[in-house]
Amino acid sequence: MPHPFDPGYVTEPFLTLCADYPEANVYPPEQFRLEWGPIFHCGRLDGSARVLVIGQDPAQHETVVRRILVGEAGRRVQGLLAKLGITRSYVFINTYLYSVYGSVRAKTRKAPALIDYRNRWLHALLVGRQVEAVLSLGKAADEAWQRWKATPAAQSVNVAYAAMTHPTQPESSSKGDKTKLVAATKKLLQNWNVALQALSPSLHHVDVSTPLVLYGENWGDGDRVAIPESDFPAGLPAWMHEQDGWAKRVGANDLAKRRTITITVPKGIVP
């Protein structure tokens, strides 16, 4: 059975963007996990994208796969895109190239070199392309969009836009409190329903024509969708895109945790 894969960075300007990127002078190692390298994107770089998603920063699954939004947040975003009829014609970039460690200081977030590099990606993906809708996930991603919108090149680009709650905000804000998690999930899904209704009329070219079905009060069947195999680099095993929780940061202390990622093949795969 053939296994379609993402060929990655094969044409300009992406070849240059992935060879020459901001490092420690722009992303302070106290605020970002520079030691794992930058992780650039996920999805279509060939101009076929109709939806652009701006995420926040990569986590451990993204570090192994070298594509963004391939863990739990990614599954939820794939579910959202499916509701819009977008199953392939998307491209994702993040606000930050590196995984955030702790929190990001305002000075870092506003550093011109950080913004300029990200704007080069947005320019490449939007100017003269056929994107019809842009989504941002979380406040930093919304700010990234606003900063690009203020550039001269952005004035020629007319797309629908929705600032959305980050897909795993309910988990991070509720910190293990189940009642809070239920309430935050309900609030997120209301927010996502508003975004779906705002963007849906602007999407004139979709992969699968589908009536818009809004979210309920909690995640329902089919609201989480596996990352397509074709988003992954060549040769990665099926469980990496079908399952979650296989990459963990483990260690006896903060430094050991920061230095370690353990990959565990899920149960039932090894004979």
> What letters, b where the CB count within 10 A reaches 16 and e where it falls short, cover 109-125?
bebeebbebbbebbbbb
Helix axes 112-126, 139-149, angle to 10 degrees: 70
Smallest distance, its own copies to C-beta of residue 238, A: 8
Q: Which is nearer to its own copies, 43 or 79 (CB)?
A: 43
Number of residues lying near its own copies (CB under 8 A): 46
Q: Which two tokens stand for residue 56?
A: 């926040």
Taking CB under 8 A as the criterion, the residue among 150, 153, 208, 263 binding its own copies is 263
Cα separation, 131 vs 112, whole angstroms: 25
Quick one: 197 or 260, whose CB is closer to its own copies? 260
Kindly tell me which residue out of 12, 13, 19, 219 binds its own copies, with binding defined by CB under 8 A.
19
Site for its own copies in 60-99 (CB under 8 A): 64, 66
Provide the minimum distance between the beta carbon of 225 and its own copies in the complex, in angstroms, as a whole number.
22
Span of 27-35, 77-85, 188-196, 197-205 interacting with its own copies by CB under 8 A? 27-35
Does 40 participate in binding its own copies (rule CB under 8 A)?
yes
Q: What's the min distance (Å) between Cβ of 188 and its own copies?
A: 30
Q: Supply the Cα-derived Rg of the chain in whole angstroms.
A: 18
Least Cβ distance, residue 105 to its own copies (angstroms): 15
Q: How far is the CB of 266 from its own copies (least distance, A)?
A: 8
Would you state the torsion angle of the CA atoms of residues 44, 48, 51, 56, taken in this order, to the nearest 10 degrees? Answer: 20
Give the one residue of 8, 182, 193, 243 binding its own copies; rule: CB under 8 A: 8
219 lies in the site for its own copies, by CB under 8 A? no
Check residue 102 and give left, alpha or beta (phi > 0: left; psi -120 to 50: alpha): left
- 113 scored as a contact of its own copies (CB under 8 A): no
CA angle (217, 223, 224) in 5-degree steps = 130
CA distance 171 to 167: 9
**9 is an interface residue for its own copies by CB under 8 A:** yes
Cβ pair 244, 72 in contact under 8 A: yes
The Cβ-side half-sphere exposure at 204, using a 13 Å CA radius, reads 5
**Considering the rule CB under 8 A, would residue 130 count as an interface residue with its own copies?**
no
User: Which stretches of the chain bind its own copies, using CB under 8 A?
Assistant: 1-5, 7-10, 15, 18-21, 23, 29-30, 34-40, 64, 66, 233-237, 239-240, 250, 255, 258-265, 269-271
